[in-house]
Amino acid sequence: MRILLIHAERFAYEAVQRAIDSAEDVPEDRRRGCAENALVAMCTVESVDEQNPEEVASRAAEEIASVARKVGAKRVVVYPYAHLSSDLADPYTARKVLELTEAKLREMGFETLRAPFGWYKKFEISCYGHPLSELSRTVRPGRAAERRAVEKKYLIMTPDGALHDPREFDYGGDEDLRTVVEKEALRKELEGGTGRVHYYLRKFGFEWEPMSDHGHMRYEPHADTIFEAVQRYSWLVAQSLGIPIFKVRGTNMFSLSYEPVRKHAELFGERMYEVRMGSDRFVLRFAACHQQFSILRDWVLSYRDLPMGMFEVADSYRYEQRGEIVLGFRVRKFHMPDLHILTKSLEEAAEIVLSKVMPAIHREAAKLGRRYVAIYNVTQDFLENHRETLRKFVEREGRPVLLAVYPAGIYYWVINVEYTIVDEMGRPREIATWQIDVGNARRFGIRYRDSDGSERYPVIIHTALIGSVERYIYMVFDTAAHAEKSGSAPTLPTWLAPIQVRIIPVSRDHLSYAESIARELLSRGIRVDIDDREESLGRKIRDAGVEWVPYVVVVGDREVKTGTLNVRIRSSGVQRSMTLNELVELLEKDLEGYPRVEQSLPIKMSSRPALPYLRQLSK
C-alpha cells in the first residue's frame, strides 16, 4: 500500500458518482464528510497487498497511528486514492484493506472517517504546513497469508448405519474399499508408474498440447469422436432423471469483484486460474456453478417449478500441481457435465438424491461393468442431525463407505460424495459426484416464491452423473485395461468406437459393393469406413483389430454373389456370415439409448495421411 499523509487543518469531501461497477453502496448521508485537525491518509492498495490483506492493514494502521500521534491529530480520514500507483489491487481487496485499516485505527482510540470506495469524489483541504504535515509511506506484506488446513476425521459407515474405525475395520474381502481407505484415510503411499490407460489414450489421439500450459489436452480425430459422443451422452443421462432440466451455455471467466463469485472461489481453494486486466481480477470457472447461478438468479421461480435442473457441459479450469497431472484424468482444463437441481428443502434434496441421482450414477457405472467405492464428505452437524438420512444413502450404496467428517459451516455443502474406481494400477480414481448445497442460493441471490407467498432459498444438488467427460473416458479405457489384464481383447462400447464398422474389400473389384454397404450404414447414423488401401487382406484385418473396430466386414466374390457379409465381431471373437439387415439389427441393439455422432475421418482410408497417432495405432 502507498500512503500520502497530510495533516489537515480542515478536510472535506463529497462523493459525486460511481467510478466502477463494484463501488461501495453508501446512503446519501455518508457521501459527504468533514474533519478538522485530522490526519488524512490517502491510500492506494496495490496488487502485492492481495497476498495478505490483513497484515497490510495492520502495518498501515500502525504507520498512520505513529504519524498521527507525532502531529497531535486525534482524527484520521482514510481516503481511497488510486493515483499513487499503476499496479492496483482488485477492487474487493482494496476495499477490504481500507475497511480493516479503519477498524484497526478505531481500536487504537482514533476517531475515524472513511470516504466511500469506488466513487469519483471532490475534496477541499487546508494543510497546516509544518515539517511533518506532508509525508509518504509504503507498506508491504511480509509474507503471504497461510491457509489453515481443515481438520477432519475418518470413519467407515456400513449400510446398517454403524460407524467403525478405519484402522480396525474388517473389509471382508472388499479390496477396492480397502485400497480407497488406505490411501485417503491412512495416507498409504501407492506405487507410481504409467499403465495401459495412458498408452490407450495416446493410441486413440488423446495427447498433451505442448504449446499450451502444462496439463492441457488436444484431441485428434479418433479422440474427438469419443469426446463428442460422451459429451452428448451426458445430456441424455441428465434428461433420464425425469425432472424438468434446462440446457444452457455460458462464459468461462467471472469477476472476483462480485462477492458471490469471490466467496465461492475462496471456499474452493487455491487451485484456480486467475486473469488480471488492469485492476480487475477474473477467475476461470472451476465448474458450471457461476454461469448457472448467474442465470438462475434472474429467473422468477415458484415452488411449483421445483424440483428443476439446469445443465451445461462446462469447460472448467483447475491449476493442478505438475506432479499430480495424469493424461485424461487429472488435467488443468476439463469438461464437466454439471447438473444443478433446485429443490424446496433439504428433505426434498435427499429424496431426489435417493430416488434419482444415486440410481443414475450407479447405473452408468454398471453399464461399463464397474462398481463404485464412495467417499462421503459430511459436516459434523449433518452427521449429528441427519444420521438416518445418511444411513439411507449408505444403504442405497449397498456397501460400506469412507466417511470424512468436517467442521460445520466451513463449506457451502453439508454432504459431498465422490465415487471412485480402483484403476488397473491399483490407484483410486474419482469419477462421478454429487453434493447437497445449502449456502450458494443465498450467496448468489437465487430465490423461489413458496405457497404462502414468502421468498425462500432453494437447496441445490450439484452432480456430475458420469463424472467429467475426460474422467468418464478414462474409466472406459481403464475397463479395457482390466479386460486385457484378464486375457480378453480390449474393446470400446460400440457407441464410443471411433469407427463402428470397417468394410474391407478383398480387391478393387469388390469396392463398389463395399461402397453400397457403407452408404446404407451411413444413412442410419453408423460410423463406417472402407479400407481401400493397397495392402494385403491380413494386414487390413490386423489394422482393424489394432483400432478396436467392433465390426469388421470382409467382402469378396462370394459376398457379392450372395448379397451377404462376412462379419468379425470383436467383443465375442465370433466370425459369421450375415445379411446387411442382420448387421444393422446388431448395431441398433448396441446403440440403443446412445447418441449417434458423426465420424471425424474421411470414409476411405486411402484418403488419410500418415498422421502421427494413426501411425501409433498401427503398431
Q: Which of 558, 555, 543 is nearest to 512 (CA)?
A: 555
Q: Who has greater pLDDT, 147 or 299?
A: 299
DSSP H helical segments within 346-489, as ranges?
346-352, 358-367, 380-385, 387-397, 440-444, 469-485
Give me the amino acid identity at 383.
L
Q: Which of 21, 68, 82, 70 is nearest to 40 (CA)?
A: 68
Q: Who has greater pLDDT, 326 or 145?
A: 326
Lowest mean pLDDT among 2-11, 316-325, 350-359, 455-464: 316-325
- Residues paired with residue 5 on neighbouring β-strands, in sequence order: 41, 135
Q: What is the pLDDT of residue 615?
A: 61
In the chain, the N- to C-terminal Cα span, in Å, equals: 61
Are 225 and 600 a contacting pair, CB within 8 Å? yes
Q: Who has greater pLDDT, 201 or 609?
A: 201
For residue 265, give the C-alpha cell: 472461489
Query: How do 217-219 and 206-208 pair as beta strands?
Result: antiparallel
Q: What is the pLDDT of residue 277?
A: 80
SS3 at position 598 = coil
For residue 266, give the C-alpha cell: 475462496
Average pLDDT over residues 445-449: 96
Tell me the per-residue pLDDT of 84-137, one tens digit each, with 9 for 90 and over.
Answer: 998 888 888 899 999 999 999 999 999 999 999 999 999 999 999 888 888 899
For residue 447, give the C-alpha cell: 430465490
Domains and CATH numbers, the chain: 2-138 (3.50.80.10), 153-187+195-478 (3.30.930.10), 501-617 (3.40.50.800)
Under the banding of pLDDT at 50, 70 and 90, the label for residue 144 is: low
Tell me the per-residue pLDDT of 15-45, one tens digit each, with 9 for 90 and over.
Answer: 999 998 778 888 888 899 999 999 999 999 9
Tell me the per-residue pLDDT of 324-335, one tens digit each, with 9 for 90 and over.
Answer: 889 999 999 999
What's the residue count for the chain?
Answer: 619
Query: How do 111-114 and 75-80 pair as beta strands?
Result: parallel
Average pLDDT over residues 179-193: 86
Are 123 and 29 a contacting pair, CB within 8 Å? no
pTM score, whole prediction:
0.84
Are 274 and 281 a contacting pair, CB within 8 Å? yes
Tell me the per-residue pLDDT of 237-296, one tens digit each, with 9 for 90 and over.
Answer: 999 999 999 999 999 999 888 888 887 777 766 678 888 887 678 889 988 898 999 999
Average pLDDT over residues 1-11: 95
Tell me whether residue 172 is exposed, middle or buried, using C-beta atoms within 10 angstroms of its C-beta: 0 to 12, 13 to 18, 19 or more: exposed
* 439 phi and psi angles, rounded to 5 deg: -115, -30
Q: What is the pLDDT of residue 269?
A: 64
